């Protein structure tokens, strides 16, 4: 069996560079299971599989801050 774990980082720009949306997606076997959405400022579970990971990530203040700072750099 072949399994693929991937993380995809995206930046979406509107109004020049004044408004930036940063999305980090966690993917397993082509199914997205968790993402960080800079508009929400937190990790979001996309599937039930991702719920424990998103909840754990949101409890880690340093990880949240690191993800939020990624928008500004």
pTM of the model as a whole = 0.83
- Are 29 and 4 contacting, i.e. CB atoms less than 8 angstroms apart? yes
Domain that holds residue 26: 5-69
Q: Write the CATH number for 11.
A: 3.10.320.10
Number of domains observed in the structure of the chain: 1
Give the model confidence (pLDDT) of 43-66 as tens digits: 999 999 999 999 999 999 999 999
Separation between Cα atoms, residue 60 and residue 32, nearest integer Å: 21
55 to each of 43, 62, 64, how far by Cα in Å?
8, 14, 11
Query: How high is the pLDDT of residue 28?
Result: 93
């Amino acid at each position: 069996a072949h399994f693929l774990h991937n993380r995809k980082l995206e930046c979406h720009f509107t109004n020049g560079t004044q408004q930036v949306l940063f999305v980090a997606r966690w993917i397993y076997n082509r199914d997205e299971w968790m993402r960080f959405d800079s508009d929400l400022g937190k990790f979001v579970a996309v599937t039930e599989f991702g719920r424990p990971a998103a909840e754990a990530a949101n409890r880690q203040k340093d990880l949240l801050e690191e993800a939020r700072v990624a928008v500004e750099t």
